[in-house]
Amino acid sequence: MLIQIAAVGKLKEKYLVLGIAEYAKRLGPYVKLVLTEVPDERAPETMSAAEEAIVREREGERLLAQIKPEAHVVALALDGELWSSEDLAGQLDRLATYGRSHVAFVIGGSNGLAPAVLKRAQQKLSFGRMTLPHQLMRLVLVEQIYRAVKINRGEPYHK
């Protein structure tokens, strides 16, 4: 299975880079993990709603350009479904069973995801109502993917 994490912005914090690298290494024997970063749109700190929409749209175009047509897209969004670790494992297992071998998780920038990205997504996933930095979300997501793989394989880790 190919699992892609497409995200806006470059990881800057060393601890996040190291954490993601560790889980990517652990996932190596089980899945092919591809981390795709697209540049965030330069924008002033304070923007009007129209300016924020333009930023989301431009970042969304960059994200969509990196996702292959055959990919099953899961957008991370505050209004998405709440899944447990077991739910995520089940979703990945079902996708693999029914021939969807490319899953792309999409993480927007600080202004969220463009409507076009949300429309392209087959599912929306939320990690809760709390707002987390989008860079930290990558580490949380890759850890949960690793946990899901271990659950599906019946191997120890998930406790």
> Which residues contribute to the annotated binding site for S-adenosyl-L-methionine?
76, 108, 127-132
Distance CA 113, CA 134 (A): 11
How many alpha carbons lie under 13 Å from residue 56 in its C-beta half-sphere? 18
Q: The dihedral of CA 87, 120, 2, 12: what is its sign? A: negative
Binding residues, as ranges, are 76, 108, 127-132
